[in-house]
Amino acid sequence: MAFLLFQLNSLRSRLVLLVLLAIAPITVMTFINGQRERDHAVAVAEENLQRLTNLAAANEAQSIAGARQILRDMASIPNLADDEAHCNQLAANILRENPDYSNLGLIRLNGDVACSGVPFNTKVNLADRSHFRRAVHLRRFVAGGYVFGRVILKHTVNLTYPVLDEQQRVTAVVFASLDLTRLDRFVADIQLPPGSLLLTTDSEGKIISRKPNPDDWYGKQVSPEMRNAMAAEPGKPVTLVGPDGVSRLHRFARVGNNGLTDYTVTIGIPADAITANARHDQMLDLAALGATIILALLAAWFVGDVLVLRRVKQLADTANRIASGTLEARSGIAYGKEEISDLARALDAMAAALQEKEKQHLRAESQLREADRRKDEFLAMLAHELRNPLAPISAGAQLLQSGHASEGAVRRTAGIIVRQVHHMTRLVDDLLDVSRVTRGLVTLTRAPLDVAQIVADAVEQAEPLMQARQHRFEVKLPPSPLLVNGDHKRLVQVLVNVLNNAAKYTPTGGEIQLAAYADGANVKLVVSDNGIGMSADLRSHVFDLFAQADRNSDRSQGGLGLGLALVKSLVELHGGAVAVESAGEQQGSTFIITLPGTPQQPAAAPASQASAPSQQLRVLVVDDNVDAAQTLQLLLETAGHKVSVAHSAMEALEVAQARAPQLCLLDIGLPGISGYELARGLRALPATAHAALVAITGYGRHEDREQARIAGFDHYYVKPVDVDALLALIATLPTPSGVS
């Protein structure tokens, strides 16, 4: 039979021969593979079990790390423990925004709870709580063990963080009670085989989360065998018999690293369930082997040509078409359970994946081109916006240098230069504001504010542009006050940017309206105009960085396309939202700013101080830029002060010893010795120990200001300095005993 088959040249006869030759080794390998699959199933189960355990631990660690950050932020608030009402309000606000916590608050060193996000009528003392004592002793974040809350009556773990004073002494402890039902959210989403167990314990072996039946197990102690396994090497698999008599394979993982918590997570899967699939698969393999041999013999002899050859040729043709670049080619073979169908499915999936990757490549290429185009447009607009003020400044400087200008021309030229410098300063400030917001460095000084005062201050800044363009401007405010809790300066900046945007894109003589009203618990500020409107495409990215309507050289409205991006970021920092509506181009636009309202009364405005009379001072100006130093010298001498100039730190110290200046205006970026070190040196000299030190620098970051304060500076100005503000500051300095 075999000899005859070898003499045949048909594929069917050869397929039959191959099937006969393959029967014996396939049968042997089926048994061998069955054993390997069982071993592999155990290894895979251990690996997957460890991965799932690590994932559960990482999820819980993320929740606890988030709580640590909130507590760290609370602990950094100055004098938090001194204002119980503010502390209660702050804790309540954080509690509303973070439903994972049952309570937040502050504990004094005697254990009394000074403030709490959950109101309570009786005095609560937590001096006996270990998490409080550990936070005071260790002076770091502590994740405590299981606690059933005395006030909130919930299953919790308490997370604590010490409040340190300037001498790094513990003055109080802030805490957050994490609701254990919230900690179990990730546990509830995990699909485990029947009979599986997932639980988390604290450092004392008490259960703080469990699946299934968590409510029946909160606070209970695990078995000594489980406790010992948790204390052993975390990555080592252990088989344990549970209280229900089920033998389970367990893996363990610590919650967090670097001392975040002492919690341990374990997941246990019944040992029988691990190899059940492998045993079932082996039986299926054996059955499939017998059926395959029979069907293969029949198929090879009777229908090999129909079921194999034609399909193989069809797959080969499809593969060749795909290789030639026709990615939409498909095999056209109906998917079944045989190998050729799997091959057809894989081939079709490969073609679909290649086609999708090609589409993604084209989309990414388009997005890169768009990003590159927007970058080029922004750089061109930045150059345009900076050259615009530089032109009149350059022309004015040349006019002043000529020495032939009349007194009136000098005044007009000086006014032009001042206005253009202010314009360039605003452009740079916008860029710095965007940088600070995108890096999360903006800190809001919140207070209850009257919306009417915000509107009045914003209108005062935006109205000159509207008047210059002859706009009809109307403000509508309700008769009763509207209150929000926010940063006055930043909210005025938001409203000014929106009003200026409306003025820039509304033609001369157009109409602009500002309305404020209450909408439930929120306050809405609506700015509408009948200007050029927006297309649907522009509305979709109007709040993106560098976005402008019709940005081109002949219709530029000025600015860098940063204002509305700042508006969106600042409003969202206040917990609000901003939206835009427009019926289309030439149909006007409406910007809607929504802010959370507050029932608190606005803080009383500080009483204005009368300007002190002008006085003559001994002033030391230090700047390595000779032109900047001489300009500031001329300005101060014109105001009647006696000014000395130095261009390095060593020269400044010599002048200070000789002249004993009462006011020192110092640049920070000096060669050799920085302005910070110079300030410390001046404070160490008897002649300037009590002099007023003012930083005048190009550095404007919060970190720079803080470093200047530590170095001994009294005031801080960013170049180009606001001359009026500087002269006003000098006028408020203590009157000197005399000027030599």
Q: Which fold has domain 444-550+558-596?
A: Heat Shock Protein 90 (3.30.565)
Query: What secondary structure, in 3-state letters, does 536-598 show?
Result: HHHHHHCCCCCCCCCCCCCCCCCCCCCHHHHHHHHHHHCCCEEEEECCCECCCEEEEEEEEEC
Which H helix or E strand runs over 266?
strand 264-270
Which of 32-46, 59-73, 577-591 has the least mean pLDDT? 32-46
User: What local confidence, expressed as pLDDT, does residue 612 receive?
Assistant: 43
Least confident interval from 161-175, 342-356, 632-646: 342-356
Alpha helical stretches, state H, 109-223: 130-138, 180-183, 185-189
What residue segments make up the domains of the chain, in order of their start?
Answer: 66-182, 327-441, 444-550+558-596, 618-732
What is the CATH architecture assignment of 618-732? 3-Layer(aba) Sandwich (3.40)
pLDDT band at 425 (very low <50, low <70, confident <90, very high): confident
Contact assessment for residue 89 and residue 82, using Cβ atoms and an 8 Å cutoff: no
Cβ neighbors of 58 (< 8 A, separation 6 or more) are: none
What's the rounded mean pLDDT across residues 184-209?
A: 79
Cβ-in-10-Å burial (0-12, 13-18, 19+) of 449 comes to: buried
| The pLDDT of residue 349 is above 70 | yes
pLDDT at 560: 52
What is the predicted pLDDT for the residue at 306?
60
Q: Which residues contact 715 (CB under 8 A, 6 or more apart)?
A: 692, 693, 694, 695, 729
Lowest mean pLDDT among 37-51, 110-124, 405-419: 405-419
Cis before residue 212, ω within 30 degrees of 0? yes
Distance from C-alpha of 667 to C-alpha of 645, rounded to nearest angstrom = 12
- With a cut of 60, say whether residue 739 has pLDDT above it: no
Q: How far apart are CA 34 and CA 485, in angstroms?
A: 68
Query: Which CATH number is 66-182 given?
Result: 3.30.450.20
- Contact status, residue 646 vs residue 687, Cβ threshold 8 Å: no
SS3 175: strand
Per-residue model confidence (pLDDT) at position 389: 67
Whole-number CA gyration radius for the chain: 38
Biggest distance spanned by C-alpha atoms of the chain: 128
Among 118, 136, 115, residue whose Cα is nearest residue 127: 136
DSSP annotation string for 481-508: --EEEE-HHHHHHHHHHHHHHHHHTS-T
C-alpha to C-alpha distances, 735 to 203, 245, 339, 621, nearest whole angstrom: 64, 88, 97, 19
Q: What is the pLDDT of residues 666-701, one digit of tens each?
A: 998 888 888 999 999 999 999 999 999 999 887 777
* Contact of 578 with 592, CB cutoff 8 Å: yes
What is the C-alpha separation between 203 and 231, in angstroms, rounded? 10
> If residue 371 lies in a helix (H) or strand (E), which one and from where to where?
helix 339-402
Helix, strand, coil: what percent of the chain each, to 5?
50, 20, 30
Assign 31 a pLDDT band (cuts: 50, 70, 90).
Answer: confident
Side-by-side strand order, sheet with 142-148:
113-116, 101-108, 170-179, 155-164, 142-148
Q: Are 148 and 156 in contact (CB under 8 A)?
A: yes
Point out the least confidently predicted range of 189-198, 243-252, 655-664: 189-198
From the number of C-beta atoms within 10 Å of its C-beta (0-12, 13-18, 19+), residue 374 rates as middle
Q: d(Cα 682, Cα 673) in Å, to the nearest integer? A: 13
Q: What is the pLDDT of residue 448?
A: 92
With cut-offs at 50, 70 and 90, classify the pLDDT of residue 204.
Answer: confident
* pLDDT on residue 464: 83
Residue 738 pLDDT > 80: no
Helix/strand/coil (H/E/C) assignment for every residue in 438-467: HCCCCCCCCEEEEHHHHHHHHHHHHHHHHH
At 189, is the pLDDT very low, low, confident or very high (cuts 50, 70, 90)? Answer: low
pLDDT, greater one: 437 or 243: 243
87 burial level (CB within 10 Å; 0-12, 13-18, 19+):
buried
Q: Which two tokens stand for residue 531?
A: 């200007």
Q: Specify the residue for token string 């001392």.
A: 259
Same fold, 66-182 and 444-550+558-596: no
For 167, which DSSP code? T
For residue 305, the model assigns a pLDDT of: 60
Which alpha helices (DSSP H) does 232-302 contain, by range? 271-298
pLDDT tens profile 110-157: 999 989 888 888 888 888 888 889 899 989 999 888 888 766 788 888
d(CA 57, CA 200): 9
Distance CA 87, CA 85 (A): 5
Residues whose CB is less than 8 angstroms from the CB of residue 259 and which lie 6 or more positions away in sequence, other chains included: 140
- What class is the 327-441 domain? mainly alpha
- pLDDT per position as a tens digit, 464-520: 888 888 999 999 999 899 999 998 888 988 898 899 889 988 999 999 999 999 999
All residues at 6 or more sequence positions from 465 whose CB lies less than 8 Å from its CB, including other chains: 500, 503, 504
718 has a pLDDT exceeding 60: yes
CA distance 35 to 29: 10
435: tokens are 């940088």
Supply the pLDDT for residue 517: 93
**Can you tell me the distance from the alpha carbon of 664 to that of 692, in angstroms, rounded to the nearest whole number?**
6
CA triple 681-683-685, angle to 5 deg: 75
Residue 552 has pLDDT above 50, yes or no: no
- pLDDT for residue 591: 94
